[in-house]
Amino acid sequence: MAKLQPVRGTHDLLPEEALRHRRVVDVAREFAERYGFAEMATPVFEFTEVFKRTLGDTSDVVTKEMYTFTDRGGESVTLRPEFTAGVVRSFISEGLSQQLPVRFFSYGPLFRYERPQKGRLRQFHQINVECIGIAEPQADVEVLALGHDILSALGIRKDTRLEINSLGDPESRAAYRARLVDYFSGHVGQLSDDSRARLERNPLRILDSKDEGDRKIVAGAPMLADSLNSTSAEFFAAVRRGLDALGVEYVVNQRLVRGLDYYSHTAFEFVTSALGSQGAVMSGGRYDGLVESMGGPSTPGIGWAGGVERLAMLMGDLAAPRRIVALVPIGAAGEAKALVLAHELRGLGVRVDLAASGNISKRMKRADKIGARAAVLLGDDELKKGVGVVRDLASGAQREIALADLARALAAETA
C-alpha cells in the first residue's frame, strides 16, 4: 500500500454513479415484484464447499478466481463469486421445498479474482432472480420477459440483443458432448492450445472460441440442435413460442454455451457491443439438476444475473432532481430562524440545504450550484415583517411568504 488507493479491481461509488447504480437496482426490484419475485438476501460468504460443489471443478470461477480464506475457527470460507449457489443453499437449508414454487430477487456485491478491465471488476454487483420449482417452459418465458422488461424500463433494451439456445436435458447434452469430443478429437492438431485444454475439461466451450483457426473447425462441428431428443426439442420450441407471443425479440445462437456446469435446457444472454469484450449484461439459464446435486430434493430451477455496473454504463446521464430548497440567512437572527425552519421543512419531507457559512452572494452561488429549486432569504427585514423571501432560482421571480405558512408552502411546491 504505497499510496492510499483502492484495492485493484475495486471502485468507489461516488454520488453520480451511485445514483445510476441505484436506479438499476430500484427498477429491477420493482419489476421483479410485479412478476412475483420476492426480495431476499443471502450472506456475502459461504463455506467454500457450497461453491466448489455447485460450480463444477472445471470452471475458471472455481479453479482460479475465488477469494477463499480460512477463518479464525479453521473453516474454509469463500466470498461469493455468484448468486445461484448461495440462494440454492438457502433454499435447501431453510426447507423451502415445502412451498414450491419460490421466486427470489437478490442484489449485492460479488467477488472474483480476475484481471480487471472495463466492466470487469474484482468486486462488482449483480441483480439476480431465481425461480425454483417450475419444470414447465412457462417459467423460462417469464424469467426472460422479466429481464426484457427491466432493460426496457431502463431504456437500454435497444442497446442489447437477446441470444438464446438450448443445451437440452442431461441425456441430450451428454449425447452431444460425446459427438463433439469425437469430432474435435479428429482435428486436435488444428485446434488452438486453449481449445485443446477445453477438449478435456469443457468441450462445449470450444464452440464460442474466438480463435480464427478454431472457428473454421467449429463451422464443421455437429450442431447441438441435432442432438436434442424430442422432449428437449419440444421444450425449446415452447419457450420460443412463449417469447414470440409476448413480443420479446431474440435470436437463436447455437454457439451459446454457459461456463457453469449446472445448466440444462434454456441458456441465454442479453449482450451488447457497447462495452468492449464484456458483452454480456444479463445472462442465465435453467439448472434442473442443481438442487439435487447439492443434496436437496430433485427440483427444477431457472434464473439469471445482471451486472449492475455494466447496465449502469449503458444508461446515459441521469437528470438530477431539482427539488432542494436552500435557506439563505442574513445575520444572527436569520441564522437562528433558518436552523429552526430547516428542521421543520425536513420534518415535512423537504430536502433542505443550509450552508454553514458565507455571505449572501456565496450562499446564493452555492444554492445555484447544488441545483436548488428555490432559495429562501431570511434577514432582519424579513423577520421584522414576519416573512421569508422565496426566490425561484429558475425564473428569478421573488415573492414574500409569511413565516407561519412557509414550511407548508415549500413542502407543497417541492413535493
Partner RNA sequence: GCGAGUGUAGCUCAGCUGGUCUAGAGCACCGGAUUGUGGAUCCGGGUGUCGCGGGUUCGAAUCCCGUCACUCGCCCCA
Q: Indicate the burial class of 34 (C-beta count within 10 angstroms; 0-12, 13-18, 19 or more).
A: exposed
User: Min. distance of Cβ 120 from RNA in angstroms?
Assistant: 4
Q: Considering beta carbons, is residue 24 or 294 the nearer one to RNA?
A: 24
User: Min. distance of Cβ 43 from RNA in angstroms?
Assistant: 19
Radius of gyration in angstroms for the set of CA atoms belonging to the chain, rounded to a whole number: 28
User: Min. distance of Cβ 77 from RNA in angstroms?
Assistant: 20
Q: Considering beta carbons, is residue 99 or 273 the nearer one to RNA?
A: 273
Instruction: Say how far apart CA 23 and CA 409 lie, in whole Å.
Output: 29
Q: Footprint of RNA on this chain (CB under 7 A)? A: 2-3, 5, 8-9, 59-61, 65, 82, 112, 114-121, 124, 126, 194, 198, 205, 209-211, 258-260, 269, 276-283, 305-307, 309-310, 330, 358-362, 364-365, 367-369, 375, 377, 379-382, 389, 391, 393-394, 396, 398
User: Min. distance of Cβ 264 from RNA in angstroms?
Assistant: 15
Q: Buried (b) or exposed (e) across 186-212, using 16+ Cβ within 10 A?
A: ebeeebbeebeebbeebbbbbbebeee
Q: Considering beta carbons, is residue 291 or 364 the nearer one to RNA?
A: 364
Instruction: Say how far apart CA 400 and CA 83 lie, in whole Å.
Output: 56
User: Min. distance of Cβ 19 from RNA in angstroms?
Assistant: 18
Q: Considering beta carbons, is residue 217 or 281 the nearer one to RNA?
A: 281
Q: Considering beta carbons, is residue 114 or 136 the nearer one to RNA?
A: 114
Instruction: Say how far apart CA 41 and CA 49 lie, in whole Å.
Output: 19
Q: Which residues pair with 284 in a beta bridge?
A: 268, 304
CA distances from 314 to 12, 269, 284, 287, 307 (A): 19, 16, 19, 29, 11
User: Min. distance of Cβ 229 from RNA in angstroms?
Assistant: 25
- Residue 41: all three cell numbers together: 438476501
User: Min. distance of Cβ 182 from RNA in angstroms?
Assistant: 20
Q: Considering beta carbons, is residue 238 or 335 the nearer one to RNA?
A: 335
Q: Are 376 and 410 in contact (CB under 8 A)?
A: yes
Q: Considering beta carbons, is residue 65 or 238 the nearer one to RNA?
A: 65
Q: Considering beta carbons, is residue 245 or 371 the nearer one to RNA?
A: 371
User: Min. distance of Cβ 231 from RNA in angstroms?
Assistant: 26
Q: Considering beta carbons, is residue 93 or 359 the nearer one to RNA?
A: 359
Q: Considering beta carbons, is residue 97 or 413 the nearer one to RNA?
A: 413
User: Min. distance of Cβ 377 from RNA in angstroms?
Assistant: 4
- Residue 146: all three cell numbers together: 422479466
Give the count of alpha carbons within 13 A of 21, CB side only.
15
Question: What torsion do the CA atoms of 229, 232, 234, 240 make, to the nearest 10 degrees?
Answer: -140
User: Min. distance of Cβ 348 from RNA in angstroms?
Assistant: 23
- Residue 270: all three cell numbers together: 442479453
Q: Are 325 and 414 in contact (CB under 8 A)?
A: yes
